[in-house]
Amino acid sequence: MRARVSYNREGEIAEICLDNPPVNALGVGLRAGIMEALAQFMADDAARIAVIHAAGRTFVAGADIREFGKPPQAPFLPDLVNHLEALEKPVLCVLHGTTLGGGLELAMGAHYRLGLPGVKLGLPETSLGILPGAGGTQRLPRLAGMEAALEIMTSARQVGAQEALSLGVLDALAEEGLAPLEAGRKMAAQLLAEGAGPRRISEMPAPQIAPEALAEIRTQTARRFRGQIAQLTAIDAAVEGAAMPFEAGMKHERALFERLMESPQRAALIHAFFAERKVAQLPELEGITPRATDRIGVIGGGRMGSGIAVSALLAGLDVTLIERDAEAAAAAREGVAATLAESVKRGKLREEARAEILAQRFRAAADYAALSEADVVIEAVFEDMAIKRAVFEALDRHCKPGAVLATNTSYLDIPGIAAVTTRPADVLGLHFFSPAHVMRLLEIVVPEGTAPEVVATGFALGKKLRKVSVRAGVCDGFIGNRILQVYRAAADHMVLAGASPYEVDRAVTEFGFPMGPYAVQDLAGLDIGFMTRQRKAPHRDPREFVPRWGDVMHARGWHGRKTGQGYYSYGPEHPRGAPSPEVEEIIAAERAERGVQPRSFTPEEIVARYMAAMVNEAARVVGEGIAARPLDVDVTLLHGYGFPRWRGGPMHWADQQGLGEILRQIEGFQSEDAYFWQPAPLLQELVAKGADFARLNAA
């Protein structure tokens, strides 16, 4: 990959162009090229001002990810930025596309910043477990004020052009339609006419912040990013650095940056970053051309079906939604329109675009014949095998040859669904997560007989929908729900033994999950769990422990949040739920019936068992080929099940704990339930070899 920096001069204006496709990442080649171009500028007596701009779709979008984890090479970014700022002739940076991380730090080393309309700026380093380490924590507060700078750095969000201008991060916005260099020349000429010289952010007054405001920011940040250290460390770097001379503040920033570079959280977040990029890189798809994905059909207008439709519409696709009758189709259309209206309200969509979508790219009907030209049809009806097979029989009759037929089933046997068609090679699973237009995870479930180009089409559609797509094999629950069933069962074992559901939920949330397993069941609906138990009952091993308290709650009509009572009680005084003494009584009755003498559990014991069950089943999933690699499990749990990102995913976490220790724990638990706590063969094999899951990712 080439990294080129060119120098040119037109009259008194030097032009420095950065060209390191695809996103002008600040690798060592680009850094060295910038240093050389700045030296040319200073040696060029005819050049009075320099314009730094970038080729391609964006200015510098951040560091070069190919250098992550490698020893840094000179010129180092902090030195480059400081050198740029110290120049005795003025430099203007022209920003377009996304100017992030080191790109924004580079721009803040320049003396002036011009943004093109639509530019987005940000310092997202805390999302990778580090902080801006090339002056970002020192320069941004001097431009935008301390409170605004802290919010930008800790949230890792991207700031739009108008906001950046109002905060003073940008000095001006260019006119619509100008190319970066053209806009830069125009502003550079204006600066020359005004006699403008270098204007160094390091020489600006250090910003102040009231102690009470700082205390509130720290409190809110700690609450929002519970358990994470990068955000609070970035606050320390900015606030403590502002109390020092600028050079001392820079050294303080660097010391904190290097401390974070050595933290386990940084390693976990970098693992998650790379895993998300590797998850769709499958050797089986190399050289395979996907089929068309422009026209989408959706069967079912419930919450899942309408969410899938909205996701496709927001991605610019044409969508036809089929419901059972005209009345249901009309209701589905209203539901989709309402969801799109929410997108308008949140600023994600313009009202004109919403009107265009509803008028030209979306229709709801009650006749399968409306799907005759659909490229991909996604079934999202009730989780019942007979209903789904009837839908696929109809799709087989009405859809054109070559159309991809997908089921959104969470658990059911996809080959059994495909068998009712005359084209099983065109059938696969596209398991969306609710709400489908918000949740990023998409499990692409591949039956053995599915054609390679159909699999490639699933991934191509996932990319269009901006999903994180993970390949999964066929089994009950695929990757995520299969593992979920096991770690939920581990929670039930602990509750039977004496822990309360609320102690389990508390320990799990303190570990970093947004919700515990019992609060999640209340949110999903306890009737869903009841139906799953009923479906699996005929094939269940008699040694498996299945609690009866859920059936008692179901019989009472306690289905969770939607009925006001589940594991928690809900109402105006406790909308998020309060522990229910009645639930504890039901559980206590089952303990007594089974002859269990309850004991107490520490939070550490709860997490150890919960995570051991999760990792053990995940090892089975990888060992059986349901997940291609451990990283596929990590991405699935991160994006679909609330696993704390700063822990990297269950497989990365297990490697950090030591697989031998986890195996030892599982073997210890076997004395309580030898059937449930059977070590996964892959886990045993890796421990015997002294290997870990990371080695399988690299294989």
Q: Which residues pair with 429 in a beta bridge?
A: 407, 445
Query: What are the start-end ranges of the H helices in 125-178?
Result: 136-144, 146-155, 161-167
What is the C-alpha separation between 445 and 474, in angstroms, rounded?
6
- Output 542-546 pairs: Cβ under 8 A, ≥24 positions apart: 543/675, 544/675, 544/676, 545/489, 545/492, 545/493, 545/496, 545/673, 545/676, 546/492
Termini Cα distance of the chain: 24
Is-catalytic flag, 10? Answer: no
Pairing of strands 427-432, 404-407: parallel
What strands lie across the sheet with 441-445, from one edge to the other?
362-365, 318-322, 295-299, 376-379, 404-407, 427-432, 441-445, 468-472
What is the C-alpha separation between 560 and 562, in angstroms, rounded?
6
Amino acid code (one letter) for 243? A
Query: What are the start-end ranges of the H helices in 283-402?
Result: 303-314, 326-345, 351-356, 385-398
CA dihedral 657, 661, 663, 665 (to 10 degrees): -110
Q: Which residues pair with 364 in a beta bridge?
A: 321
Pairing of strands 4-10, 13-19: antiparallel
CA-CA distances (angstroms) from residue 545 to 157, 531, 589, 674? Answer: 46, 17, 16, 11
* Token representation of residue 250: 């820079």
Backbone angles phi, psi at 538, to 5 degrees: -65, -20
What is the C-alpha separation between 51 and 508, in angstroms, rounded?
52
According to DSSP, residue 565 is labeled B
Q: Residue 66, Cβ neighbours under 10 Å: how many?
A: 11
Residue burial 511-529, b: 16+ Cβ < 10 Å; e: rest: bbbeebbbbbbbebbbbeb
Single out the catalytic residue among 15, 85, 105, 617. Answer: 105
Is-catalytic flag, 125? Answer: yes
Single out the catalytic residue among 125, 323, 453, 617. Answer: 125
Backbone angles phi, psi at 334, to 5 degrees: -65, -40
Nearest CA-CA partner of 85 in 197, 244, 251, 241 = 197
Catalytic residues: 105, 125
